[in-house]
Structure 1
């Protein structure tokens, strides 16, 4: 009998997970039932309503499309989605993930969510950058088309007698830049593009826009912002043909292993890339092999570092997202790389 050590078992599980993902991607019904993210932060009482049943949320537990997440008083939750979008919900909130589809290779798909009441903070990921209107949020009074940005939504209880409406706040990213949000309501539409811009929509659908006070906004929503999970980080590696880490990337490996230890319910996405020599299908296949070889080496490093097995997915992205722009059929060593995303 052949016995496998923990690193080998991890590697086998990793490859089986990749096979399951490929099979699921081939089936629309399977895709609809697949997990779309994980709970990363929780405080107080948070319930997940799924398929007619309700259960308490847990850190590290999966989130599925069509889930309804409900938080109690003095409660909050934080979720990381597979496209690197991070969401948090504040006290007495109800959020439904209506739809989520994400093609890892093309980094395209869509996200649709409804905020029935409470508050939501969002830092958009790949989807909001892939195509206009690929990321949409709805409330009782408005629909948001999100394009590469960070924002807050505050929603009143539309069933309450004193319901006054909803509002959205556009936030700058860590570098100070902003994307934009198209807000549509019965009374018209507004495209938000300024830091700390606020759009309010009243119960009748009347829409108004103004620039809010930075300190007042941060003070009011500090608890909601604190509930956001850590943002994803990207680590760049170069390897030999067997997937072993090149000397120039050893420092990056040390940083990755250290950061994994600091994350709650860490997830890894390992993406392989090629240069533009060869056909697109051939490069997709070669980059997949490159990523799988590296994944096996990384599994051993994770084991050796004393870290519990980490949820890992592997994808070959071929000649997409070139690190160094070149024409077709140009050999460029810096494009033949591995990128690891830590969520």
Structure 2
């Protein structure tokens, strides 16, 4: 009798297990993207003769989100965000020239200006035939992304700004030595900024304002510094620091674009960013009063500590955008 009960229980367990596998197989058959969307592809393409590295994930026929990184990082900063968003959206994250795995030609052979970076990204989206997209802007990615938006208003479905500044109110006192260089581009003022690319400066950007330092993955600043320490890279970065003044000069044109086109906007902002203050996030609401603003108790690299929360906000925001 006992043996018969054991056999019956085993049979029921086996049948239940088979049913579970059948249901899972059915889901995967009906929705092949369940697993596929978690795959990130690492690709390269040529733009203006330069190798541009990019990460791509999600169904190609889904709404597209272009992720633009900032200084001193690369598309690596989106490694935790891409899997969250690619469940439903087509996500593309390039490395800008001079950063990450994209080419970094000598500054005497390539003009490192934000206009030129924008031209390369424009060529990139044209080559990939991206007709409509939302854009995520962060740090250096903000002036590039906002130039793209002004040049392609018909392509932009929405903007996500994560500590992507566009107002003078957002510039902290950390910019004072840089603004001194803008006002006087002497060699002495340029040399005074060489510490900007040091290991100490890089780690400061990651840790400042972070309440739980154990959330900062060491490969982040280690990889960034590896690229910063490449021969000749310091001159590349100082050229971009010098040209950043053109972004501030363009702020009024960015505001005109906002007022005219009223793009949908999501602001997700680390409120302890040492470079871009919360006032810079609030300032967007003057021109885009319907924007959603959410602050996070963290620093400059908010994705390092709040990727899940920010990803959820972006996922919901993307669902409200026009196709």
TM-score normalized with structure 1 length: 0.30
Larger radius of gyration: 2
Structure having the higher helix fraction is 2
Structure having the higher strand fraction is 1
